[in-house]
Amino acid sequence: MNSTGRQTAPPIKRHHTARYYAHRVRESLTTRLSKFICTIFLGLLLVLGVVTFILWLSLRPHRPRFHIHKFSVPNLAEGAGFTEITFNVTARNSNQNIGIYYDSMEASIYYKDQRVATTSLLFPFYQEPKNTTVIYKELNGNTITENSERTMELMNDVAKGTVVFGLELTSTIRFKVSTWKTKGHRMHANCDVGVGQDGNILGAYKDKRCPVYFT
């Protein structure tokens, strides 16, 4: 009872209609169905992502691996004329299911920044997965200009017992996955190789892996 003596009426309880409860049930079912569909979609997306990642790991092409095994300049101590240069390099396709097509390959040999020899090596060929190709060549070299700065550097290196040459192998290659072939990539394999006073490869450089890059 309030201060005026009047009794306060109790609050009126409102009862919802059947239509209201039906609407609430429909909203609940719609929400649950939306969550269920989203869960299935996200699950499928996760499975697809995992499968795609596994396929990418298994089919991602690896670069060919080049190792230099032999390199000799027999007449090195005679002066600046490289009348004969011999080398033996292996090209390894380490891919499990991917083959490699090679266009014609070229080799260039450098002493510092001067090219002293160049030659074509192989006709176009296809290399099977998990396969190794031996690249062997005997070629004639050029002559470094007499009394040039390079001649003096060469003689100093010979006297010290180590002369470092650069062997660059270049070719355009394409990867083959099943019946699909990639576009051509210009490949460069750069091998630094040191020889002693006798012109033969030093032990520290034998079987050394050559860096490979594409342009």
pTM over 0.85: no
12 and 101, same domain (yes or no): no
Q: What is the mean predicted confidence (pLDDT) over 30-39?
A: 78
Q: Which residue has the higher pLDDT, 191 or 14?
A: 191
Same domain for 33 and 87? no
State which of 60, 83, 108 marks the end of a domain: 60
Mean model confidence pLDDT for the chain: 83
Contact 205, 194 (CB under 8 A): yes
DSSP label at residue 143: B
Query: In whole angstroms, what is the distance from residue 215 CA to residue 210 CA?
Result: 16
Does residue 15 surpass a pLDDT of 60?
no
Which string of DSSP letters, residue by residue, matches 34-52?
HHHHHHHHHHHHHHHHHHH
Three-state SS at 16: coil
Looking at the structure, tell me whether residues 71 and 143 fall in a common domain: yes
Confidence of residue 42 (pLDDT cuts 50, 70, 90): confident
Instruction: Work out how many domains the chain is built from and give that number.
Output: 2
The domain in which residue 138 lies consists of 65-214
CATH number of the domain where residue 184 is located = 2.60.40
Q: Does one domain contain both 39 and 109?
A: no
Task: Kindly state the average pLDDT of the residues 101-107.
Answer: 94
Nearest CA among 141, 6, 11, 22 for reference residue 78:
141
